[in-house]
Amino acid sequence: MTVEELIIYGKQYIHSTYAKMLLADLLGVNPLELLNCLDRVVEEEVVEKYKQKVTLVKEQTPVQYAIGNTNFYGNSFLVNEKVLIPRFETEELVENTLNYIDKLFSNKNLTVIDLGCGSGCIGITLKKKIPSLNVTLLDISKEALEIAKQNANQLNTEVTFIENDMLENIDGKFDIIISNPPYIKENEEIEEIVKNNEPHIALYAGLDGLDYYRKILKEAPNHVNEKFLIAFEIGMDQKDAVKKIAQEAFPNACIISKKDMQEKDRMIFIYQE
């Protein structure tokens, strides 16, 4: 079959964008480049792999899991059903955190811990952008940490790994704590494709979705230096609740909420200059 015939085949079952993404990945090209090779005859082995991946996406497997990787902040990260799929909002968390690091710290030899790191996309990206950072990736899931280790190795990034439940029984203090923790309420309606594929341990956080903010901020005062930054991704309706928890933990700190590009409240930054 040719590239054009395979695209037509895929579009019968899944969105044309996904059909092109799957084929482009198997051929090792950018999806836009497919237009330049429509007459190319594709090897039978690749044809079979493509049809299998089309079936996966047709049956509601996220396209990122079907491909096995996704782009985050300009780098390709391995992903599977053991880790969340990185999203645009988390890229904005990283971007804003980088801006705060520039604003708050003249010395960039800083200690950073990424809590609930999943694929490692946050901590690894920070390390790649500021190589002098001393970054630790922490997750309770051994399987998630294995993916994070593969990503760190693939992206030539030296970071430390800890298998643990957030900050409980952790030694040492950090300049920066960053986290995109679980924040979905137990009874909250979410997309079926997310609910049925992505790890629930990384999605749900108790009846009000705030369990992990409480858990982190209860321990955080014992684990930050005098000058510090804490950066959270939050649910769009959690700004006031997370701010309140933060104020109880750090009554003298600056607590700032930020909107994402969709004008939704999606980030909280807590810092002491």
Q: Which domains occur in the chain, in start order?
A: 3-59 (no CATH), 81-272 (3.40.50.150)
CA 77 vs CA 8, 117, 226: distances in Å: 28, 13, 34
DSSP string, 89-122: HHHHHHHHHHHHHHHH-S----EEEEET-TTSHH
Using only the alpha carbons of the chain, give its radius of gyration: 20
The per-residue pLDDT for range 137-148, each reduced to its tens digit, is: 999 999 999 999
Q: Which two tokens stand for residue 91?
A: 């890229």
- Count the alpha carbons within 13 Å of 73 in the hemisphere toward its beta carbon: 21
- 129 and 98 in contact (C-beta within 8 Å)? yes
What does the pLDDT profile of the chain (273 residues) look like in tens digits?
Answer: 999 999 999 999 999 999 999 999 999 998 889 988 999 999 999 999 999 999 999 999 999 999 999 999 999 999 999 999 999 999 999 999 999 999 999 988 999 999 999 999 999 999 999 999 999 999 999 999 999 999 999 999 999 999 999 999 898 999 999 999 999 999 888 899 998 999 998 998 999 999 999 999 999 999 999 999 999 999 999 999 999 999 999 999 999 999 999 999 999 999 999
Per DSSP, the three-state class of 50 is: helix
The phi, psi pair for 159, rounded to 5°, reads -140, 165
Q: Which residues pair with 72 in a beta bridge?
A: 75
pLDDT at res. 187: 86
pLDDT at res. 134: 98
Structure pTM? 0.93
pLDDT at res. 35: 87
